[in-house]
Amino acid sequence: MFKQLLVSLVLVSVLACGSKPRVSLNEGEALKPSAQHEVIAKEVANILENISYKKVAMGDSLSNIVYTNLLNSVDMGKVYLLQSDIDDFEQFRNSISQDFKDGDLSAPFYMFNQYAKRYIESMEYALSQVDVEHDFTIEEEYINNREKLGWFKTQDELKDQWRKRVKYDLLNLKLIGSDTTSMDKHKEVLRSRYKNLISQAKKIDSNEVFQVVMGSLTDAVDPHTTYYNPFFAQAFNESMSNTLEGIGAQLMMENETVKITDIIAGGPAFKDKRLKINDRIIGVAQGDGDFEDIIGWRLDAAVSKIKGPKGTVVRLRVIPAGQDLTAQPKIVELTRDKIVLAEGSAKYEIKEVKGDDGANYKVGVISLPKFYIDFEALRRRDPNYKSATRDIRYILDTLKQKDVQAVVLDLRNNGGGSLQEAIELTGLFIDQGPVVQVKDVRNRVEINSDREPGVSWDGPLGVMVNRFSASASEIFAGAIQDYGRGVILGSTTFGKGTVQSALDMSRFISTTSRLLLKASDASESKNENIPAGAPEFGQINVTMGMYYRVSGSSTQHRGVEADVSFPSQFSADKFGESSEPSALPWDSIKMAPFKPVADLKTVNKALNEKHQKRIEKSPAYGFLMEDIKKFNEEDSIPKVSLNEVKLKAERDKFRKDNRDRINQQRAYLGMPLWEEGKPQPQHEFDFILDESLTVMTDYIRLKK
């Protein structure tokens, strides 16, 4: 046993000393990759080359994309780095992905360190310019985003950019502030802002840099393959389950302290009532343990202490809202619990809609933000596990009891989620049969079917989609369309036809690598901020297949086209899968054996004719087209005037145009107009939903 251990330790020693980084990072450099980062990077590169669906070699062409991605992720607006920095970085352009394969992260960390240095230099220079006298009467322009321009050639050019930035920030504070607020007050606000930005920048650690660096690699391979460090992996998994474990409070960092921005209904903090919005948490203790002072911590590190498994106790030292940090803190003890995130869950409302025939119709509208499922609870065989299908089945039962005549499922901006949920949700509307086909890395095709007999709703069905309905939304909408089970309303969807698997990176870390990491713990600080229950080495969501509709067509690039279409302000060349340079191409496979419920071609044609005649006469349609036109009016290099009179006139005109436009809508809706000087009134104006509901009244009559 001792001999085996000795051999292992010798092997670890050889491994630890056997490879030399390509770039030497200065001894005083704050940000360096850890041994764990290097091991993970090497394994991720191996997964991308040998396991993923695309199997991309770590070669020159990929390196060029990784290099560009990394530059864009730190300074897309070209406001921090100099041309000399870019010239220095060019040595890595054609070899950076090969370095990942060797576990060598010195080059991307070198690039990030130089960016971080320039960032802090820029912020400190901006801070020095706050008290400089700025002339707001001269003609001068500021360009915030310089993406389409060249890099700064000199320090003087960069400094002039930041002089203008400070001038713009002060002018902006002056224009949005009251007439009685002094310039000294504006300067005080701006000084505090810049100091906070500098403070936060100095707290960035190597784990955060590693996340950015790995994103530059995975995005180069596939827009939907992503590595998550332990903190982000836990956040992703909680999002998928629509649940989290903790105290039930949303937090943000403000002036070195953790501030409560929201209390989640139903959570421990909500039930306890002692924590309030804008309270600041300055200390945390686990159970009966000692308090740790968290003032000045990074937000993720503080959150990892506050969150924790259900049933565990946390004590918080809290400064009540509105009180100074020198005030006596209160101690709040909470027992952590599992919290359902209601804002991400399915919701419904019943709409009374007047049809073209003058009759009133009851339509149930179900909004589904994502296809969620609590996989962990499902694995534990929890009979009350949370899922989109279970929630919507209950909603459909409720809508039937309330005698609705049609159901509309609103999937607009639903970016997807669980493939299993897309299949099971489809099963609520069809009586058994194939739903989606999946082709894996070996080109094997598996047909995924709804096997549960019966349906939860067999009446008229509409599915609303838009450009940001993706993945699971497209599987569901495509199946409903192929079966002729309902009408798809809206605009062409995103076009994501790839399937990702979430892989815990610990599966790929060898025994030898683990020994290496244990040996390195003595020479570098161990990350103690891994949230409880998070994967130790992070997680990679990697593309492992493509899905196809039962018709055999992929939705990749092309998406799902609506049966009753509405114009979209989001063009395919800028938004959607087809705008992603690393996206897989469209293809098709053999049709699955399925039996359509109905052929809706004639019905859809009739619905479209009525729809087009109606919207051509609708002022609301005119509002929509104006929105689309305004959205697509793009200035190639947007400039802002730094002349106070000119900028104020531009903003006054914008406010007047905005008020006039809102009043046109309010007049159309029969609502009181927004008067000048009064706060902007809140009103919901959703022409696409309103017209979709009217289309459904047409559909009800045609079905009869």
| Helix, strand, coil % in the chain, rounded to nearest 5 | 45, 15, 40
Q: What does DSSP say about strands 360-367 and 347-354: parallel, antiparallel, or unpaired?
A: antiparallel
**Res 604: pLDDT:** 95
**Res 550: pLDDT:** 96
Low-confidence stretches of the chain (pLDDT beneath 50): 1-18, 522-523, 525-526
**Res 525: pLDDT:** 45
The answer to whether the beta carbons of residues 52 and 500 sit under 8 Å apart is: no
**Res 340: pLDDT:** 76
The answer to whether the beta carbons of residues 701 and 357 sit under 8 Å apart is: yes
Burial of 481 (0-12, 13-18, 19+ CB in 10 A): buried
Question: Which of 63, 471, 513, 692 is flagged as catalytic?
Answer: 471
The answer to whether the beta carbons of residues 588 and 548 sit under 8 Å apart is: yes
- Is 482 a known active-site residue? yes
Question: Which of 391, 482, 563, 698 is flagged as catalytic?
Answer: 482
Question: Which of 496, 553, 554, 563 is flagged as catalytic?
Answer: 496
Residue 14: both structure tokens together: 């050889």
Is the Cα dihedral 540, 543, 545, 548 positive or negative?
positive
Is the Cα dihedral 53, 59, 62, 66 positive or negative?
positive
**Res 176: pLDDT:** 79
Residue 52: both structure tokens together: 């993923």
- Is 174 a known active-site residue? no
DSSP letter at 289? S
Residue 497: both structure tokens together: 């036809």
The answer to whether the beta carbons of residues 199 and 559 sit under 8 Å apart is: no
- Is 206 a known active-site residue? no
Nearest to 224 by CA among 667, 583, 629, 672: 583
- What is d(CA 251, CA 255) in angstroms, rounded to the nearest whole number? 13
